[in-house]
Amino acid sequence: MALNNEFLLEKLQAQFGAAILGSEQVSDYLNVEIDAAKNAEILRFLRSDAELNFMYLTDLCGVHMPDQTNRELGVVYHLHNLEENYRFRLKAWLPILDPSIETASDIWAGANWMERETFDFYGVIFKNHPNLKRILNVDHMEFFPLRKEFPLEDTTREDKDDRFFGR
């Protein structure tokens, strides 16, 4: 059986109905948007269903879109079925005031560090994560550096005079 976009989307919609909020194809690559409250259920199905069998979580990352009211923070899952060599993308959006979503680290062990990274940079809270703390940045950092409201430049730098940068 060859796994493809239509088959996967139909199967997901039949199984989860309203929790599949939308989908789009970018080139031939399927993107599915899901209800963030149902993410663990959907991911577990994708992992354990015999026909889908997404055994490999390629990547898990965050996105910040400050203009999307009440769905500012995104969590993106890149899934890969190694046997069929088929990949697709799952997205779940969260409000920035309560960015919490269920962990996937009990489904793919590799999600553990990637969720810590997403927490580190975007402040997404992964519920039931075994060890949700910063992984790449210094422990005492007080903000989430990839959120758009924080400056990229280091604020302690003294040799940059705004006059010389036209600011």
Backbone angles phi, psi at 88, to 5 degrees: -155, 175
Ranges within 131-150 binding other proteins (CB under 8 A): 136-138, 141, 145, 150
Q: Give the whole-angstrom CA distance, residue 159 versus residue 125.
A: 37
CB 89 within 8 A of CB 33: no
Q: Is 159 in the site for other proteins (CB under 8 A)?
A: yes
* Rounded least distance, CB 165 to other proteins, Å: 11
CA angle 71/129/118 to nearest 5° reads 45
Q: In the stretch 30-69, what mask flags binding to other proteins with x, by CB under 8 A? A: ----------------------------------------
**Residue given tokens 């990352």 in the structure block:** 61
Stretch that binds other proteins, among 14-22, 57-65, 78-86, 154-162 (CB under 8 A): 154-162
Looking at the Cβ atoms of 157 and 163, the one nearer to other proteins is 157
Backbone angles phi, psi at 164, to 5 degrees: -85, -5
Q: Which residue type, as a one-letter code, is found at position 147?
A: R
Q: Which residues bind other proteins (CB under 8 A)?
A: 136-138, 141, 145, 150-154, 156-160
